[in-house]
Structure 1
Amino acid sequence: MTEKRSLADVLWIVMLVAGALSVLYPLVWVFYQSLKTNQQFFQNVWSLPETLQWSNYKTAWVKYGIGKSLLNTLYYVGLSLIIGTFLTTLNAYALTRIEFKGRKLIWGIIMLSLFLPGINALIPQFVLMRDLQLTNSLTGLIILDSFGESVFFLLLLGGFMQSLPKELEESAYMDGASIFQVFLRIIAPLATPGIVTVAIFKFLGLYNNFLAPFIYLSDQKKYTIGVAMYQANQLMQYTSDWVTLFAGVLIAMIPSVFMFVFFQRWIMEGATLGGVKG
């Protein structure tokens, strides 16, 4: 016998469906607008396309440099993600699992930095990057983002590592393992859900990063996807080729959508397991 739903349950379901539709409908709207001609778009923005203009995606890929900027973004995001995630994991391990003098002071300074807006570091960072001749360079951006530690990621992964029992390390030390061996063979494998969660958040942050590439990159051939889309949007006041811009927006969304779809379970597990002790 099926359980009857109360009025509150029905209202919650209606609200959830309405919320889902509010997210999905704009995406669907952009998709079918990208398959129109500009003439059809300006005649009626709500009508369905008469014929599917898949050539708009090719135009966006070539004309607005989406293809080149996407490759630049994958290079920038890929290396920054690998180096940055490794350093965050190493820092979290050192600050949560190793006893040394000054550890509490370092944590205190890290917590204090939460009250400082990140925009305050923009000018000093730019001066440093300019003096090191790392401006207008994707490699320079990789160095900046890899070594610029995020307090949020450090606290998230640190909280996850603190939930692991100390006996694991003590047993490994008794067997003659070094600190680095304990880190690689015991802590890192057990902290995989947390590490993957941090990596996913880092990927989304790096992929959607606009300000740093916009400031540091002056060569159009080195633009990341965010800057390329901004440049394409600026051209709309002269060309009004909106359907091609919509196609470019959808191409730019693909990596982020795939990341959410395939790794959403890791995000939920990593975000909740860090607060469980024992």
Structure 2
Amino acid sequence: MNEKRTWVDGIWWIILLAWSITILFPLVWVLYESLKTNREFFQDIWALPEKLKWANYSLAWAKYGIGASMLNTLYYVGASLLIGLFLTTINAYALTRMQFKGRKLLWAVIMLSLFLPGINALIPQYVLMRDLHLTNSLTGLVILDSLGESVFYLLLLGGFMQSLPKEMEESAFMDGASLFQVFWKIIVPLSMPGVMTVAIFKFLGLYNNFLGPFIYLGDPKKYTIGVSMYAANQMMQYTADWVTLFAGVVIAMVPSVIMFVFFQRWIVEGATLGAVKG
């Protein structure tokens, strides 16, 4: 049945369209600026390039060490994502499906951490990482981000797991399944929309993480892509090679854009399912 649209719907459509343009325009602007020469950039920042300078991308890849930074980022994000996602999933299962003394108190303490800004833990974390000799190490960053649990992810994934019927676990236990087998073969597959949603959010958070790598990494050879682009931006005080920097920014945006384009269905589906079942 088709609903009749009103003038209010038209206003909302215009507002959303204008909002979309404000988000897309800077991305498009950076893209065509990256295909200019520096002369064209300084002459008119709004004009389109006379000839597309794709060589800016190869120059950015070599000049700013983006290739090495991408490999560092791949290791940091990949390892942190796999370890952290497993720990988040098993923590959500323990806190929502298992009954043990102190569970409610533990949840209350976890909820309390929502009101504590994460920046407050920066100095204690750095002192601990320094004493454990894990600074200036990508592996140290992986350990820090893998063990640093997020209440948001626990709530999101816990909402999926709480909606699953208890009878499935009871039947599996009666058939002789162990606790880990129930978790791995029953709970995880049924919670896959939530797991994928958390995985996407974790990926975007790790890939865009700047403060942690900036603080803990001192060797430029170990920089992640965010810190590498920051260092390239600092070089503009002396070189003013802005078009090459823009090319580097576009390369840095590619993984996030690909993740959004191919996995946005999981985010929408996961959020909707959680709202219905939770």
TM-score (norm 1): 0.97
1: CA distance between counterparts of 2:199 and 2:53? 37
Match for residue 145 of structure 1? 145
Instruction: Report the Cα offset of residue 10 of structure 1.
Output: 2.0
Asked if the contact 1:33/1:45 (under 8 Å) is kept, the reply is: yes
Q: What residue is the counterpart of 1:39 in the other structure?
A: 39
Counterpart in 1 of 2:258?
A: 258
Give the superposition deviation at 1:159: 1.3
The match for 2:214 is 214
The within-5 A match list for 1:2-13 is: 5-13=5-13
- 2:122 aligned with 1:122: yes
What is the letter of the counterpart of residue 188 of structure 1? V
Aligned residue for 2:238, secondary structure, equals helix
Spell out, residue by residue over 1:108-132, the C-alpha distance to the aligned partner (whole angstroms, 9 max, x if none).
1101111111111111111111111
State the alpha-carbon separation in 1 of the partners of residues 118 and 26 from structure 2.
31
Q: Tell me, yes or no, if structure 1 residue 99 matches structure 2 residue 66.
A: no
Q: Which residue of 1 aligns with 2:157?
A: 157
Equivalent-residue separation in structure 1 for 2:65 and 2:138 (angstroms): 16
Structure 2 letter corresponding to 1:210: F
For 1:22, give the aligned amino acid: T
Following superposition, which runs of at least 4 residues in structure 1 exceed 6 angstroms of deviation? Answer: none
- 8 Å Cα contact 1:163/1:276 also seen in 2: no
CA distance, structure 2, for counterparts of residue 152 and residue 277 of structure 1: 17
Gaps of 5+ in 1: none
Q: Give the corresponding residue for 2:238.
A: 238
Could you tell me how far apart the structure 2 residues matched to 1:146 and 1:106 are? Answer: 20
1-structure distance, mates of 2:199, 2:5: 40
The one-letter amino acid paired with 2:194 is G
Deviations 1:136-193 (A, max 9, x none): 0100100000011111111111111111111111111111111100001100000000
Post-superposition shift, 1:8?
1.9
Count, aligned residues: 277
| CA–CA separation in structure 1 for the residues paired with 2:272 and 2:111 | 21
| Match in the other structure for 1:88 | 88
Asked whether the 8 Å contact 1:161–1:274 carries over to 2, the reply is no
Query: How far apart are 1:4 and its partner, in Å?
Result: 6.1
Identify which range, 206-215 or 3-12, moves more after superposition: 3-12
Give the corresponding residue for 2:228.
228
Q: Is the 8 A contact 1:91 1:154 kept in 2?
A: yes
Q: Bigger shift: 14-23 or 268-277?
A: 268-277
**Deviation (angstroms), 1:3:** 7.3
> Where does residue 196 of structure 1 map in the other structure?
196
Q: Which residue of 2 aligns with 1:247?
A: 247
1:196-248 Cα distance to aligned partner (Å, 9 max, x none): 00000000000000011001000000000010010011111111111011100
Please state whether the residue corresponding to 1:53 is helix, strand or coil. Answer: coil
2:277 alignment partner, SS class: coil
* Structure 1 residue 26 displacement after superposition: 1.2
Amino acid of the residue matched to residue 42 of structure 1? Answer: F
**Structure 2 residue identity aligned to 1:264:** Q
Other-structure match for 2:24 = 24
3-state DSSP of counterpart to 1:40: helix
* Contact 1:200–1:259, Cα closer than 8 Å, also in 2: yes
- Equivalent residue letter for 1:134: L
Q: Is the 8 A contact 1:193 1:266 kept in 2?
A: yes
Contact 1:76 1:138 in 2 (8 A): yes
Return the alpha-carbon distance in structure 2 between the equivalents of residues 34 and 235 of structure 1. Answer: 17
Q: Does the residue aligned with 1:239 lie in a helix, a strand or coil?
A: coil
The residue aligned with 2:15 is 15
Q: Could you tell me how far apart the structure 2 residues matched to 1:205 and 1:35 are?
A: 29
Paired residue for 1:205?
A: 205
Q: What code does the residue aligned with 1:100 have?
A: F
How does the TM-score come out when normalised to structure 2? 0.97
- One-letter amino acid of the counterpart of residue 180, structure 1: F
| Distance in 2, Cα, partners of 1:277 & 1:174 | 26
> What is the letter of the counterpart of residue 258 of structure 1?
I
